[in-house]
Amino acid sequence: MINDTDTIAAIATAVSSSGIGIIRVSGQDAFLVVSKIFRMGGNREIDLRMEDWDRRVLYGHICDGEEVVDEVLILVMRGPHSYTAEDTVEIDCHGGVVVMRRILETVIKYGARPAEPGEFTKRAFLNGRIDLSQAEAVMDVIQAKNQYALKSSVGQLKGKVSKRVKALRERIIYEIAFIESALDDPEHISLNGYPKRLKGILESVAGDVRKLLESADSGRVMTEGVRTVILGKPNAGKSSLMNVLAGEERAIVTDIAGTTRDILEEQIRIEGISFQVADTAGIRRTGDVVEQIGVSRAKDAAKDADLILYVVDASVPLDENDEEIIRMIQGQRAVVLLNKSDLENVITAKDLEIRTGKQVIAVSAKEETGIEAFEQTVKEMFYGGEINFNDQVFITNARHKRALTECLDSLMMVMNSIDAGMPEDLYSIDLMDAYEKLGRIIGESVEDDLVNEIFGKFCMGK
């Protein structure tokens, strides 16, 4: 049976050969456990519980009885002034796999138990040092794939999402309290004209919720990357473009049409943005069964793409295959790349803009020209230029988005009740539901099973 008051221990750094490794120990007996195995210079025993070792770095050795395990530094942090808000000791040792595991085994031998994945952060949440959205941001920081994802996650870790959610909850709970007070004391608190005033307030709150929801698309792009599909006819230069963007020869490039038969995916970073780029088979009618499968997969990938890069060979006229691609990209976010601009062109950018209704950029994958203009265009397309992380809040978590959507639905139900002339006492039900949905984001109204599920996804030692 797992007990949230047990003293826990885990290796907090990657289990691989490195210059340093950290074993973290946290819980009510953390100081006692480490005191049993730590010896200062001169083999001197100390009791971390009895003296003021708080926020001190101590040099010595970890010992298992008479055996010296390793030369270490220990950092002593007395709760609540620690990551978990509990008494915590971090043991800095040499970063070998064997020595780290040996020290962890020694810590467990003398009274700690192995920590579950995410248990340190879970304790920080349960002890009130951080809320649930901040706890989730810890893993987002660790898994950040680009600078935007990192900045957004750090902002959430500092409480930017929490602050916005708490402000919305305060506005909602005030109206709930007002309604309940008026119903309990109608002689002194009047509800005359209140429904109209409440609707105005809720329209403002709903507007703020919508702004947060609108940020979710950019937030997902930050954390997961832009799902990008390269489309075009055979020999348009799709694979050459893929290689230029990847900075290496990832795709096979030949003069033979239909070389690319299946989807080739690559993670690429452009202007600080992560892209999941898929090079696809050339779109054309073909009797080759294998190539037909590749073309079908290319079309399916395009349907789910955040961005389509339509590569056009500027040296050959458009044909029925191009017409099919142009139809495919309508209603989707797309950029047209007029490739082979170093050759004699039979197609102009202006013609393509008129035909596709999309922005056209002249590039040459061979000469690697026009790539900077393309990269800046994509950045503007997804983020509208520079992002000011000082005041912007981005929703990057699917759980948060779902809670905001449900909150908005409840607010709309209140406004519908107002329009229908329903009694004021019915407003409180949906208002409280909206309040609780927002509370799920920061963990104030969330089930234990969900908490366990969230922290179960964390890495060991965090």
Q: Do 24 and 10 contact (CB within 8 A), yes or no?
A: yes
| Whether pLDDT at 253 is above 60 | no
SS3 assignment for 138-177 = HHHHHHCCCHHHHHHHHHHHCCHHHHHHHHHHHHHHHHHH
At 388, the pLDDT band (50, 70, 90 cuts) reads: low
pLDDT tens, residue by residue, 167-205:
999 999 999 999 999 888 888 888 888 999 999 999 999
Q: Do 226 and 382 contact (CB within 8 A), yes or no?
A: yes
Q: CA quadruple 124, 128, 132, 135: dihedral positive or negative?
A: negative
Phi, psi of 450 (to 5 degrees): -70, -40
| Whether pLDDT at 227 is above 90 | no
C-alpha angle 140-81-459 in degrees, rounded to nearest 5: 30
Query: 195-204, 230-239, 269-278, 405-414: which has the minimum mean pLDDT?
Result: 269-278
How far is CA 92 from each of CA 15, 60, 371, rounded to the nearest angstrom? 14, 11, 46
Beta-bridge partners for 9: 25, 114
Average pLDDT over residues 262-282: 73
pLDDT at 2: 54
Residue by residue, DSSP assigns 180-236 as HHHHH-TTTS--TTHHHHHHHHHHHHHHHHHHHHHTHHHHHHHHH-EEEEEEESTTS
CATH number of 134-215+395-443: 1.20.120.430
At 284, the pLDDT band (50, 70, 90 cuts) reads: low
| Whether pLDDT at 49 is above 80 | yes
| Whether pLDDT at 147 is above 80 | no
Q: For residues 20 and 72, what is the distance between their CA atoms, to the nearest angstrom?
A: 10
pLDDT at 367: 78
Instruction: Rounding to the nearest 10 degrees, give the CA dihedral for residues 285, 287, 291, 294.
Output: 50
Percent with pLDDT over 70 in the chain: 90
Percent with pLDDT over 90 in the chain: 39
Q: For residues 379 and 226, what is the distance between their CA atoms, to the nearest angstrom?
A: 11
| Whether pLDDT at 453 is above 90 | no
| Whether pLDDT at 447 is above 90 | no
CATH class of the domain defined by 8-129? alpha beta
CATH superfamily of 222-383: P-loop containing nucleotide triphosphate hydrolases (3.40.50.300)
Average pLDDT over residues 108-115: 95
Average pLDDT over residues 438-447: 86
- Numbered ranges of CATH 3.40.50.300 in the chain: 222-383
Q: Please give the helix or strand (H or E) that residue 449 lies within, else none.
A: helix 448-456
At 387, the pLDDT band (50, 70, 90 cuts) reads: low
pLDDT at 248: 57
Rg (CA), the chain: 29
- Numbered ranges of CATH 3.30.1360.120 in the chain: 8-129
- Numbered ranges of CATH 1.20.120.430 in the chain: 134-215+395-443
Q: Do 195 and 418 contact (CB within 8 A), yes or no?
A: yes
Residues 6 or more apart whose Cβ sits within 8 Å of residue 126? 4
Provide the CB-side half-sphere exposure for 252 (13 A, CA). Answer: 11
Q: For residues 332 and 358, what is the distance between their CA atoms, to the nearest angstrom?
A: 10
